[in-house]
Amino acid sequence: MTQRVVMVANGTVENVFVGQLYEFAPWDAALELGIAADATGVLATVNSGADTLAEEQPVVVKTINVMPVYPDDFQFADEMMAGDRLKVKLRDTSGVIRTVMVTAKLTQLT
């Protein structure tokens, strides 16, 4: 799943994957997640089911509209159980409109 998020200045996006097909894992899966912003000042909180992977952590900085590069920019990994919710909250602290690219890779565990 890939989402392009345009954030308002000093804004917050509660969950970039709301309504997406794999917001809730349909099966046990290995999660790999990358987040890239167009400049500094974006913080991410990442939850995978009951696991907190990051609490307001700075994200990778790239040029605008560039997706995170696998595996270099994928800073989060976890194992999800079927039904676990992937929640990625973004908060801008720069006071400027920001573009953030978020990519989640789910690999089914057998």
Position 98 scores a pLDDT of 96
Omega into 58 within 30° of 0, i.e. cis?
no
Domain segments of the chain as ranges: 2-108
Question: 60-61 and 51-58: which strand pairing?
Answer: unpaired
The letter for the amino acid at 91 is R
CA–CA dist 108, 110 (Å, integer): 6
Query: What does pTM read for this prediction?
Result: 0.94
CA–CA dist 94, 75 (Å, integer): 22
Q: Model confidence over 10-27: pLDDT tens digits?
A: 999 999 999 999 999 999
CATH code for the structural domain at 2-108:
2.60.120
Residues 6+ apart with CB under 8 A from 14: 89
Position 110 scores a pLDDT of 81
Position 40 scores a pLDDT of 96
Residues in the chain where the model's pLDDT stays below 70? none
